[in-house]
Amino acid sequence: MSFGLDQYFKKKKKSEEKDEKSEEKKTIEVVEADGSDLRDWPSILEETVKSMVLYPHLLDYTRTNILPQRQSITPEELAVQLRVPLGVAIVLLDKLQHEAQETQ
């Protein structure tokens, strides 16, 4: 009977080793040319939002239709008005704020 248990534990140990190896392979390290780590949340959020197909349209719509009426709109209010997640609204307002600062 011990043969069966030995086989079971050997199989279990092998499968755990495979899981550990596969987890190691799944880890992706993203590093910029200057050696800095890109895994900070603001840059990940910005990159994700800017990759959205609707990003340029939302940016333009916010710039031309929403901000002229409400200059001090909060990200929460913008998210509700555009029906987008809060993170998208934060990135949109941040981009438009940087544009406004550059033109001044």
* pLDDT tens digits for range 76-102: 999 999 999 999 999 999 999 999 999
pLDDT per residue as tens digits for the range 4-58: 455 555 665 666 666 555 555 555 455 555 555 556 788 889 999 999 999 999 9
**pTM of the predicted model as reported, rounded to 2 decimal places:** 0.62
SS3 label, residue 10: helix
Task: Kindly state the helix (H) or strand (E) to which residue 61 belongs, with its residue range.
Answer: helix 55-61
- 44-77 pLDDT, tens digit each: 899 999 999 999 999 999 999 999 999 999 999 9
- Cα–Cα distance, 7 to 54 (Å, whole number): 55
Q: What number of other Cβ atoms are within 10 A of residue 7's Cβ?
A: 10
